[in-house]
Every structure is written in structure tokens, then in C-alpha cells.
């Protein structure tokens, strides 16, 4: 029978720091509840101990025939030398999103990786869809202004959603899911993404634009850029200054892609603009950060991604992929070195 084990460092703060305190201690059980564990165990010989960075060497003598690893946030970052001591290892099933931090040694040692990135993209896309629809109605500025009975006729109202133009920065897994969710609303969608082909843009029914055009043309600009060296600080004051009157900026991507000081500079002057920020750099912002001071910047505590009852959906994806693999079917969510080039 296939030999499998769970690998995770449950307290790897650098990987799961955005999670609420109550969710961290039992992260493995939250991602893989008992019924999911049982479904896995029916199809493999599951090692009784969760492997961590601390106990890896101690359990290594029992892992020589290990073929499958299941993991999630907090996965131990194993070196090529350590992986060479697992000669039978074939596939890592990772019930979380990006594999960028730990994948190269696995792929370099011929171990295939399946990521639940597509499952984790769903709640982010849903969250952003809701914000876009409300933003176009003027909701976020409206509730700032509607503070007395006399304001009912003067509090801000948006353009509405029909035929309104929005801009998406990035058309990766989340961006594409968001485009799909927005189809019923008949919005005009501009996309900045250097990796989006003309053919794919046509299929998605979006218009490819340059970065400045995205900020100039979108009543809402939503950031889904991958967090990579070349995108750090990419969104600058000049971009925010170019936004149309009463526009809204949404960030459910990564805080590091924003030149935050530049954004603060613009938003202090452009009170007609609104920012809906779910991710920052650093996270959380420091206590005296302008994020807590600007009335037109609304901060949420990194809740767009999978939380609470959304989390097991990632386990469902990798378990289905595991069962597909056992049946000799193709892996639909396999990560490769090529995919890492554009992944956050």
C-alpha cells in the first residue's frame, strides 16, 4: 500500500502569520478535518506521526519507503540533501496556495507538487467581487458620509455596475476566477498583466492595457499582482494620482507591491478616492501607520483568503488529486519550475 505522511510545522509564523490566533494552533486539523483524514487513510498507509523540521531526522529511518507527503501552511523547508534521503518520494500534495518558498528542492529532486492554489483563489475572488460591486454603487464612501439625517440626499452615490469599467492588475489564478465571477454584471474589464497573451485576453473578454492605463481607466482598480522582486513597490504615487474622480483601489494581493508612502501622499490630498486594503507590508502595519488614520483608507485584517469553513476546500482539492493520481489520471493542479517564474 502507498506510504504517506503529513509534514507541517504548525507554528511556522512566517507562513501563517496572517491567520487569527485561534486558527493557528490546530492548523493541520483545520485544513484536514477528521473526515478528510479518514478519506486519505482509506487509500494509503498513513504514518502515525506528523513530521516537522524538528523531528525529521529522528523519524527518517522509518520514512525510507515514503511515497506521498500531505501538507499545508507551515510546511518544513526541506533541502535537496534531506530530500535525497527520501528516495521513494513521488508527490507532495500541498493544501494551500503558493509553493514558491519551498518548491525548488522538491522539483529538483524529481518530486511532483500539487497545490490547492485554485481552491484558495476562490474566496479571494469572491471577496474582491463583493467589494467591486459595492464600490461601483459608492457604498464605501456613502457610509463615510451618511452620518446625519440631512445627508441622505447628498451622501455620495457611485456610477452603478452596468457598463462601468474596472481594472484588474494580474490575471493569474485569482484574477481569472474574478473575471469569471464578474461576467453576470456586464462590466468592462481592463487587465494589466505582461504574461497575458492576446489570445487569452480575447477568450476572457478583457482588454489588455499598460499599468498606467489601468489606473487611468478603471473606476475600480483591483490588485492581484504576484509578489516578486520585480513587482515590489510597483504601484506608485503617480499611478494613484491618475485614478479617475471617486475611484476605488482594492488590494487583496500583496502589500509589498504598493509604494505605501506614495499611496498615502495621494490619498491625503484626494479625499474622493477610497482604498480597501486587506494586505499590507509589513503585516500588520505598525501602530502609528497612516493606515489607521485615513478615513478614505479602510483596512481589513487579511481575511480575503481561505478562513474557517473555507479552509477544508483546499484539502478537498488535493485529496481529489491524490485519488486521481492513484487511478492513473492526470494531475490538474501540478506545479512546475516554469510556473514558479510567475507565481507569487
Per-residue three-class SS string for the chain = CCEEEEECCCCCHHHHCCCCHHHHCCHHHHHCCHHHHHHHHCCCEECCCCECCCCHHHHHHHCCCCCEEEECCCCCCCCHHHHCCCCCCCEEEECCCCCCCCHHHHHHCCCEEEECHHHHHHHHHHHHHHHHHHHHCCHHHHHHHCCCHHHHHCCCCCCCCCCCEEEEECCCHHHHHHHHHHHHHCCEEEEECCCCCHHHHHHHCCEECCHHHHHHHCCEEEECCCCCHHHCCCECHHHHHCCCCCCEEEECCCHHHECHHHHHHHHHHCCCCEEEECCCCCCCCCCCCHHHCCCCEEECCCCCCCCHHHCHHHHHHHHHHHHHHHCCCCCCCEECHHHHCCCC
Least confident among 94-103, 170-179, 204-213, 289-298: 94-103
pLDDT tens digits for range 46-68: 999 999 999 999 999 999 999 99
pLDDT tens digits for range 119-177: 999 999 999 999 999 999 999 999 999 999 999 999 999 999 999 999 999 999 999 99
Going by C-alpha positions, the residue among 140, 142, 172 that lies closest to residue 276 is 140
Cα separation, 311 vs 32, whole angstroms: 9
**pLDDT exceeds 50 at position 19:** no
Superfamily of domain 137-299: NAD(P)-binding Rossmann-like Domain (3.40.50.720)
Q: Which residues of 105-121 are buried (b: 16+ CB within 10 A; e: fewer)?
A: bbbebebbbbbbbbbbb
Going by C-alpha positions, the residue among 218, 225, 268 that lies closest to residue 239 is 218
Cα separation, 128 vs 124, whole angstroms: 6
pLDDT tens digits for range 305-324: 999 899 999 999 999 999 99
- The reply to whether omega before 282 is within 30° of 0 (cis) is yes
Mean of pLDDT over the chain? 93
Whether 3-119+311-340 and 137-299 share one fold: the answer is yes
Q: What size, in residues, is the chain?
A: 344
Share of the chain above pLDDT 90, in %: 87
pLDDT tens digits for range 180-199: 999 999 999 999 999 999 99
> Are the C-beta atoms of 331 and 322 separated by less than 8 Å?
no
Identify the CATH number of the domain defined by range 3-119+311-340: 3.40.50.720
pLDDT score for 339:
79
The HSE-up count of residue 208 (CA atoms within 13 Å, CB side) is 13
**pLDDT exceeds 80 at position 342:** no
pLDDT score for 340:
78
**pLDDT exceeds 50 at position 44:** yes
Residue 344's pLDDT band, with cuts at 50, 70 and 90, is low
CB atoms within 10 A of CB 49: 11
Residue-range domain boundaries for the chain: 3-119+311-340, 137-299
pLDDT score for 238:
98
* Angle, CA of 195, 121 and 329, to the nearest 5°: 85
Q: Are strands 112-115 and 334-335 parallel, antiparallel or unpaired?
A: antiparallel
pTM of the model: 0.90
Residue 13's pLDDT band, with cuts at 50, 70 and 90, is very low
What cell numbers appear for 131 in the block?
Answer: 467589494
> Are the C-beta atoms of 206 and 176 separated by less than 8 Å?
no
Cα separation, 132 vs 246, whole angstroms: 13
Burial class (CB in 10 A: 0-12, 13-18, 19+), 154: exposed
Residue 280's pLDDT band, with cuts at 50, 70 and 90, is very high
> Are the C-beta atoms of 281 and 256 separated by less than 8 Å?
yes
Share of the chain above pLDDT 70, in %: 95
Cα separation, 10 vs 73, whole angstroms: 8
Amino acid at each position: 500500500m502507498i506510504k504517506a505522511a503529513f509534514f507541517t510545522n504548525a507554528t511556522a509564523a512566517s507562513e501563517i502569520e496572517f491567520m487569527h490566533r485561534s486558527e493557528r494552533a490546530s492548523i493541520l486539523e483545520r485544513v484536514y478535518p477528521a473526515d478528510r483524514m479518514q478519506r486519505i487513510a482509506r487509500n494509503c498507509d498513513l504514518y502515525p506521526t506528523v513530521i516537522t523540521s524538528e523531528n525529521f531526522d529522528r523519524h527518517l529511518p522509518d520514512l525510507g519507503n515514503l511515497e506521498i507527503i500531505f501538507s499545508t501552511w507551515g510546511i518544513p523547508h526541506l533541502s535537496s540533501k534531506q530530500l535525497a534521503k527520501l528516495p521513494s518520494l513521488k508527490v507532495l500534495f500541498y493544501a494551500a496556495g503558493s509553493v514558491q518558498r519551498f518548491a525548488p528542492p522538491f522539483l529538483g529532486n524529481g518530486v511532483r507538487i500539487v497545490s490547492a492554489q485554485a481552491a484558495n483563489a476562490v474566496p479571494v475572488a469572491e471577496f474582491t467581487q463583493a467589494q467591486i460591486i459595492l464600490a461601483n454603487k459608492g457604498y464605501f464612501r456613502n457610509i463615510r458620509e451618511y452620518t446625519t439625517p440631512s445627508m441622505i440626499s447628498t451622501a455620495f452615490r457611485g456610477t452603478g455596475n452596468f457598463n462601468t469599467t474596472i481594472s484588474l492588475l494580474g490575471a493569474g489564478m485569482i484574477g481569472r476566477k474574478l473575471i469569471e465571477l464578474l461576467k453576470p454584471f456586464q462590466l468592462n474589464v481592463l487587465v494589466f498583466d505582461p504574461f497575458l497573451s492576446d489570445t487569452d485576453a480575447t477568450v476572457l473578454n478583457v482588454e489588455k492595457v499598460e499599468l498606467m492605463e489601468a489606473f487611468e481607466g478603471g473606476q475600480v482598480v483591483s490588485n492581484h499582482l504576484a509578489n516578486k522582486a520585480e513587482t515590489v513597490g510597483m504601484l506608485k504615487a503617480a499611478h494613484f494620482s491618475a485614478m479617475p474622480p471617486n475611484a476605488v483601489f482594492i488590494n487583496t494581493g500583496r502589500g509589498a507591491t504598493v509604494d505605501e508612502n506614495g499611496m498615502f501622499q495621494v490619498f491625503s490630498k484626494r479625499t474622493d478616492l477610497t482604498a480597501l486594503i486587506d494586505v499590507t507590508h509589513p503585516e500588520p502595519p505598525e501602530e502609528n501607520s497612516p493606515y489607521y488614520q485615513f478615513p478614505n483608507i479602510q483596512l481589513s485584517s487579511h481575511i480575503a483568503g481561505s478562513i474557517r469553513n473555507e479552509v477544508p476546500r483546499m484539502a478537498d482539492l488535493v485529496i481529489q488529486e491524490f485519488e486521481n493520481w492513484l487511478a492513473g489520471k492526470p494531475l490538474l493542479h501540478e506545479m512546475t519550475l516554469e510556473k514558479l517564474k510567475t507565481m507569487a
